[in-house]
């Protein structure tokens, strides 16, 4: 048994030709297109917001095939666990049980409109636990709790019940057709044709990154396509299949682990990654159909500013003075501070529950429950940083003996059910310790 593309090249080319012709037929028919920016939203946000709202006339041009989910009998719990998480209020308690690697969140170009749709660095929580008529807020999170965003609960229509979310299941979009066509053209012609480049550029243009360099080498173009598919389709349950088709699964898992370790230690391309972020205090709309996308924030790199934000008062009477100092920092970054605006710092490499992060939220008004989130509890209570974890990798990245962490249990050239192993129940990457690779593989 092995992870490899089949070795009969003639059949591989035949399959690629079938896919190429099918994609070209859809493109040439000119019945589909990518949803573009409108109504104050980017095209990507407009697509997913309306998909969650079941406004299918707004998404049909791009959403070629999705599985219907509506009604008392045909209505899955799809999307229940893939969202920012909420605690009470209009949305009830919905626990997020999936999260995005911070290295993925950080991989997007600064102009890419897909990041804040796909990834959420906030969760919906109450300001004062147990208070009658409490205020619910979109609270900023750390790197160990970046969550899925395409199927977020405020964008949806009101669910029929907690486990029936009325969300259709997306299967194929026109963006997929374009990127598959670019892939087949690249493979069949030993390098990207102009048609392949045009197809890739369509997807990039919609995302706001059409100026990214366009590779002309076959392997470099495939690399670019794989990365584009990561940015475009995360959370749609196809990326693992993409990596298997391209024979890149094992390589990509190893690269992800390497990147996470570099981020944890702030080495390599993450050497200058800012540690501190100022989030703007944001009250949640608490209504279905809320168009809220992402929290405003400022990444801090100036040592003088960092020194100011680190001096968090522990006495409530000094919170106003502290807020005034934060407002000056915000203005220094060219942002207008309106009456009533509040900001709070977060150490992105510490756990959400760290003393610093907890005190920062207290200073902006959080009281009871200030250190809790409606998220799978184990991850968000862990740091991302190596130094912040006492000079060792957090165990969700790698255990001290190197035996677990990300992609826990995966072994190359083994028959796998899922990349988890039947070991150490309670490990942060393992909800069901009975999921394992096939026990009868030949090593």
Residue 432: pLDDT over 60: no
* pLDDT tier for residue 322 given thresholds of 50, 70 and 90: very high
25-74 tens-digit pLDDT: 999 999 999 999 999 999 999 999 999 999 999 999 999 999 999 888 88
For the cut 50, the answer to whether the pLDDT of residue 442 exceeds it is: no
Position with higher pLDDT, 61 vs 1:
61
Query: Please, are residues 408 and 420 in contact by the beta-carbon 8 Å criterion?
Result: yes
Residue pair 233/176 in contact (Cβ under 8 Å)? The answer is: yes
Could you read off the pLDDT of 328-346 as tens digits, one per residue?
999 999 999 999 999 999 9
Q: Is the pLDDT of residue 133 over 60?
A: yes
**CA 101 – CA 144 distance, rounded (Å):** 8
Alpha-carbon dihedral 153, 158, 162, 167, rounded to 10 degrees: -70
What mean pLDDT comes out for the span 254-273? 95
pTM, to two decimals = 0.92
- CA-to-CA dists, residue 103 to 90, 223, 246, 282, 421, angstroms: 32, 17, 22, 25, 23
Please tell me which residue, 126 or 424, carries the higher pLDDT value: 126
User: β-pairing, 297-300 with 276-280?
Assistant: antiparallel
């Amino acid at each position: 048994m092995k992870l490899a593309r089949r070795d009969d090249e003639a059949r591989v080319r035949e399959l690629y030709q079938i896919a190429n012709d099918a994609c070209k037929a859809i493109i040439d028919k000119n019945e589909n297109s990518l949803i573009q920016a409108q109504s104050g939203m980017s095209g990507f946000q407009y697509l997913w917001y309306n998909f969650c709202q079941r406004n299918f006339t707004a998404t049909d041009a791009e959403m070629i095939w999705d599985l219907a989910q509506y009604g008392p009998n045909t209505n899955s719990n799809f999307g229940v666990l893939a969202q920012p998480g909420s605690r009470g209020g209009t949305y009830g308690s919905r626990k997020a049980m999936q999260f995005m690697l911070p290295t993925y969140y950080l991989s997007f170009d600064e102009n890419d409109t897909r990041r804040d749709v796909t990834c959420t660095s906030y969760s919906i929580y109450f300001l004062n636990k147990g208070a009658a008529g409490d205020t619910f807020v979109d609270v900023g999170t750390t790197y160990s709790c970046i969550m899925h965003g395409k199927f977020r609960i405020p964008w949806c229509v009101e669910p029929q019940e907690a486990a029936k979310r009325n969300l259709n299941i997306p299967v194929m979009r026109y963006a997929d057709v374009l990127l598959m066509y670019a892939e087949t053209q690249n493979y069949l012609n030993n390098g990207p044709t102009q048609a392949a480049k045009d197809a890739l550029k369509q997807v990039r243009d919609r995302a706001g990154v059409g100026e990214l360099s366009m590779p002309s080498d076959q392997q470099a173009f495939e690399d670019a396509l794989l990365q584009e598919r990561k940015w475009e389709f995360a959370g749609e349950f196809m990326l693992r299949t993409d990596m298997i088709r391209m024979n890149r699964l094992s390589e990509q898992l190893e690269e992800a682990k390497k990147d996470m370790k570099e981020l944890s230690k702030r080495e390599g391309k993450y050497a200058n990654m800012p540690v501190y972020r100022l989030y703007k205090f944001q009250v949640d709309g608490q209504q279905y159909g809320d168009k809220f996308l992402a929290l405003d924030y400022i990444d801090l790199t100036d040592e003088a500013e960092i020194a100011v934000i680190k001096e968090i008062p522990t006495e409530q009477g000094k919170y106003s003075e502290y807020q005034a100092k934060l407002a000056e920092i915000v203005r220094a970054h060219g942002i207008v501070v309106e009456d009533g605006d509040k900001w709070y710092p977060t150490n992105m490499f510490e756990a959400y529950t760290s003393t610093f992060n907890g005190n920062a939220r207290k200073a902006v008004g959080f009281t009871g429950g200030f250190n809790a989130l409606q998220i799978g509890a184990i991850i968000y209570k862990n740091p991302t940083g190596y130094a912040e974890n006492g000079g060792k990798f957090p165990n969700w990245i790698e255990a001290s003996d190197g035996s677990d962490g990300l992609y826990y249990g995966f072994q190359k050239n083994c028959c796998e059910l899922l990349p988890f192993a039947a070991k150490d129940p309670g490990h942060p990457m393992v909800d069901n310790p009975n999921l394992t690779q096939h026990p009868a593989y030949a090593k």
